[in-house]
Amino acid sequence: MGGPGDPPAGTPEGAPSGGEDEYRSVVFDESFVRAARLQEFSAQERMGDHTRAVRRRPGLHRTLSRQLLILVVLIAVAFGTAIYMGLRSPYQSPAAKRPEPLRMTVTPLAPTGRVPGSRSVSDLYAHSPAAELRVGAGGINLPPARRTSHFSDSQVMAALVTAKDYLVESALDPDVLVGGSPRDVRLLIDPEQYAQFDQSLARPEADGRHAATGWLVRFDPARTALADKRVRTEGTLRIVETDKNTLEVTSDHTFVYALRGAPDAGSAKGADDEQAKASLFTVRRELHFRFDRDDLRMHRAELLSSVTQAGPLACAAESASHLRPLLAGEKAKAGGPAGTDPYATGGATPLCGSLAASAQPSLSAS
């Protein structure tokens, strides 16, 4: 008999299932049933003392909220673990070396005769080796900043620039040269060296650690004035990487100053004409700087050593607080420095050398 039902022998193979097409719109798939908020109790469950025929299933948003909470907790744990392992990592860069006290030497160079002088500063320079030197910071040339194994080009340049700035502030600034505030010099050194720097300026001693002239060039303003603020300069800067966290710069420069007696100082022997003349004073400085990564970032340096040779100076002159040059017409006392008593206490007697005649202007009295 015909009807909407299936044939007694079932649907022929290959024939479309008419019944399936007819009820497709009202038949729910398994995912739909699983997502239903209400679920009917089974027949066995309904035999119990249940008062309701259905039970409410947990909502999808509650399941998602629980999963999201678990995910957040897992992320927080992973993040905390990463931070902990980073702090405990054995591959971290070692702590920066603690700066050492600056070691310094200041050696006077005594002239063999009277100090040449002239009323014309340009004549002094023209007749001396300083004629070929450049003026001021123009004589402090930076070498090419080439990257090293562990430092970039910009980091190498930062070290060189800081070393140059220190030379400019400590040996070329006219205010610092005549006893002005050394604040800008101090700002360029590592804070761990502030105490040594401050003691050297406040209570200078010739002990190899606390001479103000080991940090900077300065003259006694009570007896010396600048005849020309344009200092002549020449020298070199060299940079090397000493380890993966440290750069070191060595500077070797000659500075030539034109000086005359201070207006109220009076002449050494009452010769007013000599008082008006200018003379040249030469300082050779070799400084050794060290930079860690913090120093490069903060534009500062640690000074390891400072070697200064300066003249014309008298061997017996005190040079820890100020340099006290012999001026035009003056000469060093014969005999050199006094003998050293090895049993005496106090500061050691400084070494003294002779200033070569070729380092002085070769001019006749004028």
Write out pLDDT tens, residues 297-316. 999 999 999 999 999 999 98
pLDDT at 258 > cutoff 90? yes
In whole angstroms, give the CA distance from residue 146 to residue 163: 16
pLDDT of residue 48: 62
Residues in the chain: 366
CA distances, 280 to each of 24, 245, 306, 364 (Å): 111, 42, 22, 15
pLDDT at 228 > cutoff 80? yes
pLDDT at 214 > cutoff 90? yes
In whole angstroms, give the CA distance from residue 309 to residue 103: 15
pTM higher than 0.75: no
pLDDT at 272 > cutoff 90? no
Q: Give 93's contacts (C-beta < 8 A, 6+ positions apart).
A: 244, 245, 293
pLDDT per residue as tens digits for the range 320-347? 999 999 999 999 876 555 444 444 444 4
**Which of 37-51, 84-98, 236-250, 335-349 reaches the highest mean pLDDT?**
236-250
Q: Give 343's contacts (C-beta < 8 A, 6+ positions apart).
A: none
pLDDT per residue as tens digits for the range 17-72? 555 555 555 555 566 556 555 566 666 666 665 556 555 555 555 666 777 788 88
Min mean pLDDT across 25-34, 139-148, 239-248 is at: 25-34
At 365, the pLDDT band (50, 70, 90 cuts) reads: very low
In whole angstroms, give the CA distance from residue 159 to residue 38: 75
pLDDT at 76 > cutoff 90? no
pLDDT per residue as tens digits for the range 107-128? 999 998 999 999 999 999 999 9
